[in-house]
Amino acid sequence: MRINSFKSTFNINNFENKKYEDVINEIYNFEVFNSNSLLLSLQKLNYETVEIIYDVYFLNKLWCFNNKINLEIANNQDLLFYNQIKIHKPNIVFFQHKPHVSKSVIRQIRKDFNFVRLIIAHNGFLIDTDEFSETDIILCAFPSYLKNYKKKHNNVYLFYHYFNENITNKISVKKKDIDISFIGNSGYLLPNHYNRFYLLDFLLTNTNIKCWIDENHFFNNSIKNKIINLFKNIIFYQPSILIKFEKYFHKIFSEVYEEKIILKNLNELKVNYKLSEKFINRCFKPVYGLNMYSILFRSKISINSHMLKSNKEVGNMRLFEATGAGSCVLTDDGNNLKDLFEINKEIITYKNKYDCIDKIKYFGKNFNEANEIARNGRQKTLKNHTSKNRADEINEIIIKNI
């Protein structure tokens, strides 16, 4: 059973005649993120799979309705998760990113349901290892994360992101009509991406790049949601155990203080304006799923930039999505890039924004060379970095640990 995140306001009021599984499949038909491609690959290895999206309230209500569970439980992630385990009876629980429920409910599940044999978390962003204290296995997306998590956790594996190979049957692009593109967060008010903000501002000023960017700032909302969830848990578990939340309180208010410092620093760094307002003719609304892939397939060159927390390593989702779509990827260099692609044959790198401009100018004049690199990069991704490849890796890890 995979527990996934969708981060959407998607809603349907009249759900009495809908099935949870059908709505999940409808959502995944748009191929958002990696959709269910990993589960489909695991099914081919004879796994029975169940997909749960935990952070869409409508879906939580729909699951409760379909399974004749009190709809009020949809408001409580711990109770909801407990009931989902009870009904689906999974042998393996797979959290996409990290456990979204309390450690106490995971311990209770292990106590009550002996059919749960492995709890796995796939993590693409470096966080406190304590978040995984109740998991059996951590799968991490960067080599440096592996070293970090191994300091406190005994069972950690390097597990890169991947390309959804099923996309190739859904996208039909006749020609590449976009010279240079970027898709993703611009870095606006994001402390871990301010390097990307400077890069995109420079490229928008000096090239004909087109950007499909997200400039919504979620930092405040994430803290607000943590506080709301904290008080929900206090109400549910009774105020008498409030002392147990002392550490969590401290963490939340530390983040509030940290945010004020970060926003002050970002104002000083002059990354407090939106690129979409400065370059209104070449910055567009963010795109996801099939719309995103269509742009990647149409792009001659795709710009990629990793967050600062990647620790001079590469491996974000866009690296595999863009190469898999057959775009010539121009990415920031990383210590581990040579383990994934052959530089200057399957992918191009830049050292800084000036080097990036030079590479764009060169390959803009030598498109045949860029197209050859794009073909080679796509072949490498389709050979080594697909959901099928990662399903094979997970299968080996499960066999070793179960």
DSSP 196-221: HHHHHHHHHHHS--EEEEE----HHH
Return d(Cα 308, Cα 195) in angstroms, integer.
8
At 5 the three-state DSSP class reads coil
At 349 the three-state DSSP class reads strand
| pLDDT of amino acid 221 | 47
Distances (CA, A) of 235 to 191, 240, 249, 297: 34, 10, 15, 50
CB crowding 107-118: b at 16 or more within 10 Å, else e: eebeeeeeebeb
pLDDT higher than 80, residue 14: no
CATH code, residues 2-162+387-401: 3.40.50
CB 211 within 8 A of CB 204: yes
Is the fold of 2-162+387-401 the same as that of 165-215+274-384? yes
| pLDDT of amino acid 246 | 47
pLDDT tens digits, residue range 23-75?
888 888 887 766 899 999 999 999 999 999 998 888 999 999 999 999 999 99
pLDDT tens digits, residue range 232-246?
454 444 444 444 444
pLDDT tens digits, residue range 244-296?
444 444 454 454 444 554 555 555 555 568 999 999 999 999 999 999 999 99
CB 303 within 8 A of CB 356: yes
pLDDT tens digits, residue range 72-115?
999 999 999 999 999 999 999 999 989 999 999 999 999 999 99
126 vs 369: which has the higher pLDDT: 369
**Residue 188 main-chain phi, psi, to 5 deg:** -60, 120
Domain residue ranges of the chain, discontinuous segments joined by +: 2-162+387-401, 165-215+274-384, 222-269
> In the beta sheet, which residues pair with residue 138?
121, 156
Continuous H helices in 155-193 = none
What's the topology of domain 165-215+274-384?
A: Rossmann fold (3.40.50)
Distances (CA, A) of 275 to 201, 221, 304, 355, 384: 7, 22, 17, 21, 35
Q: At what angle do helices 57-66 and 77-88 cross, to 10 degrees?
A: 40
Return d(Cα 298, Cα 178) in angstroms, integer.
6
